[in-house]
Chain A
Amino acid sequence: AQRVTQPEKLLSVFKGAPVELKCNYSYSGSPELFWYVQYSRQRLQLLLRHISRESIKGFTADLNKGETSFHLKKPFAQEEDSAMYYCALHNQAGTALIFGKGTTLSVSS
């Protein structure tokens, strides 16, 4: 079965603290993974994708096939990082994204 699990509903940190949003997946073969973000009153948008191996807004995510994880990390959280974060997996047919339930990140000063 293809599945994405985000175990935390809410993660609260102070500004400047490190952040790690957890994502685990279930997939047969080589997965293509993404992080999407939704800021308050904005639409869902792509943050980063595994295949690009990029860092966006200071966030990085490394695919760990042994642990079937794709955790999102940032060394120093900023208040503007407060948002809902969704981990997503491309389905094997290549026709859709499978999303986790999302984690709300709250960064306070």
Chain B
Amino acid sequence: GAGVSQTPSNKVTEKGKYVELRCDPISGHTALYWYRQSLGQGPEFLIYFQGTGAADDSGLPNDRFFAVRPEGSVSTLKIQRTERGDSAVYLCASSTQRGPYNEQFFGPGTRLTVL
């Protein structure tokens, strides 16, 4: 079956612009996660959705970052007034439920470059 998909695969933008990154989880997966991976680092948690609601957004670095999942499936990560420090690979993952017994399946990532 289809895995987690993310679009676009690459996004180049200018400092100060607004960007949206999309994640399509595996069908039927209720849990969805966003991570950010900077060069030379491991993935860093941003936000977790259970269904339509953001159950844990403690990883969002500041109020320029926002994510939605209005119908409990596709999610969009939105970044306002982008900064050069936002350049990273943004990873999305999904699982059947939250918790260590449920494997997180990762998408291929969106590489964001802020010039």
Contact = CB atoms under 8 A, between A and B. Distances in A.
A11 interface: no
A86 B40 contact: no
B107 interface: yes
Interface in A51-101: 51, 86, 88, 90-91, 93-101
A96 B42 contact: no
Contacts of A102: 41-42
Interface string B23-67: 000000000010100001111110010000001100100000000
B90 interface: no
A99 B40 CA distance: 12
A100 B42 CA distance: 5
B42 A101 contact: yes
Interface residues of B, number: 26
Interface in B96-115: 98-101, 103-109
B91 to A, nearest CB: 7
Interface in B68-95: 91
A20 interface: no
Contact of B100 (A4, A44, A94, A99): A94
Given A43-B106, A43-B108, A46-B104, A90 B45 contact: no
